[in-house]
Amino acid sequence: DAKTTQPNSMESNEEEPVHLPCNHSTISGTDYIHWYRQLPSQGPEYVIHGLTSNVNNRMASLAIAEDRKSSTLILHRATLRDAAVYYCILRNLNAGNMLTFGGGTRLMVKP
Amino acid sequence: DTAVSQTPKYLVTQMGNDKSIKCEQNLGHDTMYWYKQDSKKFLKIMFSYNNKELIINETVPNRFSPKSPDKAHLNLHINSLELGDSAVYFCASSRRPRSEQYFGPGTRLTVT
């Protein structure tokens, strides 16, 4: 899987929007962009994924740059429960089943 | 209702012992996985198992072996435990290969 680069940590205030960036300059045309998060002392949790178009679901929005070399996970109103490590992962359509996790971004939410 | 469950939640054992961690999913998924999260919090895939096809991460020692009695279960057996095996082990499942994965709560293994 191609490599992604994320900031080590970010801070946000409760009830404000959060934009978590991810760079993936070596992305290929068949790479999907997946986001997972891991809350403290829990297993990772699927958040969202996309290929080219922006995506929305009940948890978050995913904004994908036109050249696909970067993407941004958007939490519209951060809550204390959103404090977690957020992982941006590329998954190739034609590759194996396995997810390759990087270091992720630790999001801290201040009340 | 727990989608992916693991037992035990904590496991403390001595070097050289053999132990197993159980994983069950009630989602009707076809593919199951095992991950290891070390003390530095890096998550690494160990195995992927789909319809009796096992894919092994080449870095995993052969002391580790997954066993699947049926589609809903993928247990992890570890022989001759070493100190470096201490970690949190996560089981996961997905409907199909490459679809989103659902993770269990983890098993914290401590080898003394």
Q: What is the pLDDT along chain A (111 residues), one digit of tens a residue?
A: 568 999 999 999 999 999 999 999 999 888 999 999 999 999 999 999 999 999 999 999 999 999 999 999 999 999 999 999 999 999 887 776 678 888 899 999 999
For chain A, first and last CA: distance in Å?
37
* pLDDT above 90 for B15: yes
* pLDDT above 90 for B39: no
- Do B55 and A42 lie within an 8 Å CB cutoff? no
pLDDT of residue A96: 66
**Chain B contact for A103 (CB, 8 A cutoff):** yes
pLDDT of residue A3: 87
What is the band of B1 on the pLDDT scale with cuts at 50, 70, 90? low
pLDDT of residue A48: 96
**Chain A contact for B31 (CB, 8 A cutoff):** yes
**Reduced to 3 states, what is the DSSP secondary structure of residue B84?**
helix
With tokens 């001759």, the residue in question is B80
- Do A101 and B42 lie within an 8 Å CB cutoff? yes
